Amino acid sequence: MKIYNTMTGIKEEFVPQQADKVGMYACGVTVYDYCHIGHARSAIVFDVINRYLRYRGFDVTFVRNFTDIDDKIIQRAQESGTTWNAVASRFIDEYYRDMDALGVARADIEPKATDHIADMIRVISTLIAKGHAYPVQEGDNQSVYFAVDTFAEYGKLSKKDRDSLCSGIRVNINDQKRNPMDFALWKASKEGEPWWESPWGKGRPGWHIECSAMSMRYLGETIDIHGGGADLVFPHHENEIAQSEACSGKPFAKYWI
């Protein structure tokens, strides 16, 4: 069996790390609104892959997450006069209603970001200790950014070079990042927003860190297959690779779909 690997740009024979066992992670939805046809396409594709791998005799552990804290979720809650977790809960229910109608099976593990804050804090703390991330003071609390310059292979999935990436980046006047490409691992608390306690004060996780923390929690530091929509290759998957491999010192995923 061959798989087209986005990382290498070619079809490769599929050889999992452990004979007959496959760990697969697919990025799920951010639950601030109803699903659209693109969400349905992605869900069906990975459902078919999951079913086919099992049909071929592999023992598959399939993880697909819910992003249940995010700027868009907070904004929707503020607009509708409700709480962020009420918004997330509502649209998780709506997601399942749609997927059940399409016949898409549940993943083996469907973690929510907010249930894994401690896992994310551990990864971020390791990155700081290894010199790959740094905190910046923002009011009474701190944000933490990943230092892209410390990861030499940044851009290897999307095939983007750093010069072209820098040229299109906007920098806010109050942005304290050392490099415009650095991305948030942890966001300092803003008034009226949900927050969790951390070594950097009150805040909440950035978007990218959740998938690294949850995939490592359930599938180990190197997974067989990582999947998602093509729109996630950059920056989401590129950032996942950087923070995961900088943390563990190991390849994050063998095949990218």
- What is the pTM (predicted TM-score) of this model? 0.94
Residues 30, 67: contact at Cβ < 8 Å?
A: yes
How many helices (H) and strands (E) the chain has is answered by 7, 10
Rg (CA), the chain: 18
- Sheet of 133-138, strand order: 133-138, 141-146, 183-188, 203-205
CA 100 to CA 102: how far, in whole Å?
5
220: left (phi over 0), alpha (psi -120 to 50) or beta: left
Q: What is the pLDDT of residue 163?
A: 73
What does the pLDDT profile of the chain (257 residues) look like in tens digits? 999 999 999 999 999 999 999 999 999 999 999 999 999 999 999 999 999 999 999 999 999 999 999 999 999 999 999 999 999 999 999 999 999 999 999 999 999 999 999 999 999 999 999 999 999 999 999 999 999 999 999 999 999 887 777 655 555 645 689 999 999 999 999 998 999 999 999 999 999 999 999 999 999 999 999 999 999 999 999 999 999 999 999 999 999 99
Report the b/e string of 11-28 with b at 16+ CB within 10 A. eeebebeeeeebbbbbbb
**What pLDDT score was predicted for residue 173?**
45
For residue 244, give the 3-state DSSP assignment.
helix
Residue 106 has a pLDDT of: 97
- Reported in sequence order, the residue ranges of 114-235 that DSSP labels E, i.e. its strands, are 133-138, 141-146, 183-188, 203-205, 223-227
